[in-house]
Chain A
């Protein structure tokens, strides 16, 4: 009997963990979008006010970030510093490498890639417009991500726990 009870506890805990992990992805997605927007504001300052070249600007912005978004900036900055490749190519490669560590959806990844297409190719005004356009697109994504978090985060947590209890009852 003790073994059965222990087994049930393990099942419930595992199922709850899966539910909580899934719920955390919704929270992380909101955080990542917000952090990318913060990074864009910092990049706007580096480009608009200091005219810092992209490799240094991206690396500098990346150092102040905390989520996995920082890897995009730091890796892209490092690759651009080495030279020999176009900025958009470096950015797209970096995003595709890092995206497995991100909780962003495909539409947000698409926005990130579109942002990279115009990176470094125009004057300051053009760069600022690109940043602002990306930021406004991400505003919409942030609202959607917040709605999803409210709707689904609690749902996944509850589903995990309830699913675990239900499976445990079936085993008993």
Chain B
């Protein structure tokens, strides 16, 4: 289904009507803020439409997106997003309900951000020869946010998934964007996805249950090192991403040199020449 149809189907009729004539070919975001005008972001440029969105319409939109089933999406809601068909995501903003330090719900929704997802097939073409050099390399892709790590790792999964048994631990639901049990992005023919599961729990589970050749996961942290070490000691390859400017910075943050040494291919990305610019590849 086309992005426009999916987005419009998930909006109240009055708002959908205002977007009928808008081109979605390069549109990145549709923003709804209570009491503010309907806003669009296209090619990095922000604009507004002459329609003021009410708080009731925002609540109604959440009802439509969640198919009137808050309980079914509560894990996603507490992470401030809901995934739609096609991998598009709706960012949520409102009043956080806390239980100790943990968010248990978001109420009184004040803003929604429809982020239009576009899978870039071939985004990993430049790095694939390095990942597949000498069979498969344990690979770490490092970059600050918004540099295309997830887009690239998704394409790595798609390409490897044609020949290898790939398991994706999709803790934030961004790589495969599963909805209703179906991956909304093409992540490969032989790829299994464990959705919304913490990596520290998911990696050992997938090792036991799906016997993967390679595990792909996003944004590793120090809490995941034990699970990664376990996978590596079982002979399973790991391809992961991490936030950071450089491999050294990630090493300092993760505080597990033995795990970091296992990554024999480290790729650093930036936005210098556009999203996904390869800064360095260390083998």
User: How many residues of A are in contact with the other chain, CB < 8 A?
Assistant: 23
Interface-lining segment among B38-46, B62-70, B121-129, B200-208: B62-70
CB pair B64–A84 under 8 Å, yes or no, is yes
Cβ-defined partner of A120 (8 Å) among B60, B71, B104? B71
**How far, in Å, is B9 (CB) from chain A's closest CB?**
7
Contact A53/B63 with A83-B9, A84-B12, A127-B71 known, Cβ cut-off 8 Å: no
Q: How far is the CA of A119 from the CA of B72 in the complex (A)?
A: 12
Annotate A120-147 by CB proximity to B: 1 below 8 A, 0 otherwise.
1111101100000000000000000000
Say whether B105 faces chain A, with CB atoms less than 8 Å apart.
yes
Chain B residues positioned under 8 Å from A90 (CB to CB): 68
Say whether B94 faces chain A, with CB atoms less than 8 Å apart.
no
Q: How far is the CA of A108 from the CA of B74 in the complex (A)?
A: 31
Q: How far is the CA of A87 from the CA of B70 in the complex (A)?
A: 11
Chain B residues positioned under 8 Å from A52 (CB to CB): 72
Residue of B nearest to A76 (CB): B68
- Which A residues from 33 to 60 make CB contacts under 8 A with B? 47, 51-55, 57
Q: How far is the CA of A2 from the CA of B78 in the complex (A)?
A: 81
Say whether A61 faces chain B, with CB atoms less than 8 Å apart.
no
Chain A residues positioned under 8 Å from B69 (CB to CB): 53-55, 57, 87, 120
**How far, in Å, is A118 (CB) from chain B's closest CB?**
11
Say whether A152 faces chain B, with CB atoms less than 8 Å apart.
no
Residue of A nearest to B68 (CB): A87
Say whether A80 faces chain B, with CB atoms less than 8 Å apart.
yes
Residue of A nearest to B78 (CB): A123
Chain A residues positioned under 8 Å from B71 (CB to CB): 47, 51, 120, 122-124, 126-127
Say whether A81 faces chain B, with CB atoms less than 8 Å apart.
yes
Residue of B nearest to A54 (CB): B69
**How far, in Å, is A49 (CB) from chain B's closest CB?**
12
Inter-chain pairs besides A83-B67, A84-B64, 19 sampled, C-beta below 8 Å: A53-B69, A54-B69, A54-B72, A80-B67, A80-B68, A83-B10, A83-B64, A86-B60, A86-B63, A87-B68, A90-B68, A119-B68, A120-B66, A120-B68, A121-B70, A122-B70, A122-B71, A123-B71, A123-B105
Residues in chain B within 8 A of chain A (CB atoms): 9-10, 12-13, 60, 63-64, 66-74, 104-105
Contact sample, A vs B, 30 pairs, CB 8 Å cutoff: A47-B72, A51-B72, A52-B72, A53-B66, A53-B68, A53-B69, A53-B72, A55-B67, A55-B69, A80-B68, A81-B67, A83-B9, A84-B12, A84-B13, A85-B63, A86-B68, A87-B63, A87-B68, A87-B69, A120-B66, A120-B68, A120-B69, A120-B70, A122-B71, A123-B70, A123-B71, A123-B74, A123-B104, A123-B105, A124-B74
